[in-house]
Chains A and B, each alone.
Chain A
Amino acid sequence: MKITEEIKISDNGFVFNSRTGDSFNLNPFGLELIKQIVEGKDFEIIRDVMLDKYDVDDLTIEKDFYEFCALLKHHQIIVQGDPLDFK
């Protein structure tokens, strides 16, 4: 999973996609998550960091993480492969 190069993320949660011209805002948890994705951490690591820090269970994290990623994909913030390429 890789964040598109054209994405600029500000510390206040403002996100600008210079390829599409769209802008977005993140809530603090979204910002924290996207920063870890930028750092190239994969889901297992991110999950463990979050579990350590927050009062939350692993299934909730998993569900929210993948929903968040689906949104990032939808907004063309992460690089998307061919959805019908059933690898």
Chain B
Amino acid sequence: MSKLKYEKPVISKITAGVPNKFGLPAKQKIISEIDGIPVPELMEEFGSPVFVLSEKTIRDTYAEAKQAFETRYPKVQFAWSYKTNYLDAVCNVFHDEGSWAEVVSGFEFTKALSNGVNGSNIIFNGPEKSEEDLTLAINHNACIHIDHFDELYLLIETTRKLNKKARVAIRINLDAGIYPIWDRFGFNYENGEAWNAINRIMLTENLEMIGLHTHIGTYIMVASAYGIAATKLSNLYMAIHRKFDHWLKYIDLGGGFASKNTLKGAYMPGSETCPSFDDYAEAISNAIISSEIPHENLPVLFMETGRALVDDAGYLLTTVLANKRSTVGRRTMVIDAGVNLLFTSFWYNLGVFPSKEVSSHVEESTIYGPLCMNIDVIRDAINFPQSKVGDQLVIERVGAYNMTQWMQFITFRPNVVLIDLNGKAHIIRRKENLDSIQSFEVKPEK
């Protein structure tokens, strides 16, 4: 006689009346494979934990965004936001799709150059640009987005030294109804600072003003805010034409589109409340097209969206290390991936899913990472089925920021794998080893 399937025995307290945040046990979603490759196979070959990126999802998401904008606006150019994920293999997928590079440091600038991006197709943002960085950017004819007056004057000085022209835009901060207003970056629109900066630039022989840039915030859930921002930039665009008889080349609306992750504290899941690319594109295109700008002089629209293009393409595969009960009887689980790999777990309720059919009995649980630190919590509260040591889990929507903001701590950072369009997995960043860490260390001579 064949034996029956076993399941862990559980007893849970019924909380009377108090809103049970989770309601009924829901049907448990399972992620058993990524682009056709079974999760156990990936972990067998590449270890645990391991980041897995889907090239197909990246390209599909890019195509969706591109279509949303190109069906509404005649001239659109995306620039890949390097800081979101600057692994060369990932950048190259975006460049292959036609993206320029958007960088915020000399390091990212040289990385973009090494990926074969033409210097004139690099947008150089951010508040940190040294004279050396500016020299590099001028020599490569990049689009330099000036952040503040000190940088403007440093740039003027640098162009004089080099006796070369620089192509510039300014970053503008403005009130688009988004709180808090990111007024720490760029020149303010409402108080006239941006207009002053523009006037100073237009009078400088060595600077060629080619665009206007804004970036209203991050994880913006209200598409209409982009409409307000686009309207304000369009006003400046026309003002420059009127005063200087000069048409700029582009308007850059930056990034900040939300991904489908759920922010901590949000009531509804992000997958339901986040605007679609169509919503964002509609708000932006409408604002520019219905502005005073004559149709034949419409600027190129630059978009630097990062998170929304790559978050969904990234997964972290991880293994259950232990199940525990806290002193108050709460179920806790330890997995082998910690917050040092998952920076976004600080602001998202990341989705964690089993990779195979599990018991139907779910219980509110806390998921801890493996670090010996109290802050290492991947999920405070998640309804999760009973699982055993060694069970393989999948954390979804981790493609943005985690692979650039991760920290090496007490052990090595894991392999990063990209599954190509043919369903073949490639390591695109090797797991670190003792040598990769120690090679930077120097012992003082005794």
For residue B361, CB closer than 8 A to chain A, the reply is yes
- With most chain A CB atoms within 10 A of its CB, the pick from B6, B12, B328 is B6
Q: Shortest beta-carbon distance, A18 to chain B, in Å? A: 14
Whether a CB of chain B sits under 8 angstroms from the CB of A62 is no
Decide yes or no whether A53 CB sits under 8 A from chain B. Answer: yes
Cβ-defined partner of A56 (8 Å) among B2, B6, B359: B6
Give residues of chain A (59-75) contacting chain B, Cβ–Cβ below 8 Å.
60, 64-65, 67-68, 70-72, 74-75
**With A23-B16, A27-B361, A75-B329 known to touch, is A68 a contact of B11 (CB < 8 Å)?**
yes
Residue of A nearest to B2 (CB): A55
Q: For the complex, what is the distance from the CA of A53 to the CA of B325, rounded to whole Å?
A: 27
Is chain A's interface secondary structure helix, strand, loop, or mixed overall?
helix
Contact with B along A15-39 (1 / 0, CB 8 A): 1000000111111111011100000
Least CB distance from B363 to A in Å reads 9
Q: Does B5 contact A (CB under 8 A)?
A: yes
| CB of B161 closer than 8 Å to a CB of A | no
The interface size of chain A toward B, counting residues with CB under 8 Å, comes to 29
On chain B, which size bracket covers the interface?
A: 20 to 34
Q: How far is the CA of A12 from the CA of B6 in the complex (A)?
A: 19
B1-31 with Cβ < 8 A to chain A: 2-14, 16
Q: Which B residue sits closest to A72, measured CB to CB?
A: B11
A56 and B323 CA atoms in complex are apart in Å by 18
Rounded to whole Å, the gap between the CB of A38 and the closest CB of chain B is: 13
Chain B residues near A86 (CB-CB < 8 A) = none
- Contact string, B238-261, partner A, CB cutoff 8 A, digits 1/0? 000000000000000000000000
Contact B9 A22 (CB under 8 A): no
Q: Are A24 and B361 in contact (CB under 8 A)?
A: no
Q: Is the CB of A24 within 8 A of B6?
A: no
Which residue on B lies nearest to A50, using beta carbons? Answer: B6
Nearest residue (CB) in B for A67 is B325
Contact of A74 with B16 in the complex, beta carbons under 8 Å: no
Q: Which residues of A contact B328 (CB under 8 A)?
A: 74
Q: Are B4 and A32 in contact (CB under 8 A)?
A: no
Q: B325 and A71: CB pair below 8 A?
A: yes
Report B-chain residues with C-beta under 8 Å of the C-beta of A67. 323, 325
| Known contacts A71-B329, A75-B329; A29/B10 CB under 8 A | yes
In the bound complex, CA of A23 to CA of B388 (Å): 27
Which of A15, A50, A55, A60 is within 8 Å of B11, CB to CB? A15
Cβ-closest chain B residue relative to A55: B3
A68 touches B16 (CB 8 A): no
Q: Which residues of A contact B10 (CB under 8 A)?
A: 26-27, 29-30, 68, 71
Q: How far is the CA of A30 from the CA of B359 in the complex (A)?
A: 13
B8: nearest residue on chain A (CB-CB)? A64
Residues of A within 8 A of B388 (CB): 60
A55 in contact with B4 (CB, 8 Å): yes
Measured between beta carbons, the chain B residues less than 8 angstroms from A75 are: 11, 13, 329
Q: Give the interface of B toward A (CB within 8 A).
A: 2-14, 16, 323, 325, 328-329, 359, 361, 388
15 extra A-B contacts, CB within 8 A, seeds A23-B14, A26-B10, A33-B9 = A24-B14, A26-B9, A26-B11, A29-B9, A53-B4, A55-B3, A55-B4, A55-B5, A56-B3, A64-B9, A67-B323, A67-B325, A74-B325, A74-B329, A75-B11
Q: Give residues in A with beta carbon < 8 Å to B.
A: 15, 22-30, 32-34, 50, 53-56, 60, 64-65, 67-68, 70-72, 74-75, 77
Q: Can you show 25 pairs from A to B with CB atoms below 8 A apart? A: A15-B11, A23-B13, A24-B11, A25-B14, A26-B9, A26-B11, A27-B359, A29-B8, A29-B9, A29-B10, A30-B9, A30-B10, A33-B9, A54-B3, A55-B2, A55-B4, A55-B6, A64-B8, A65-B9, A67-B323, A67-B325, A68-B10, A70-B325, A74-B325, A77-B11
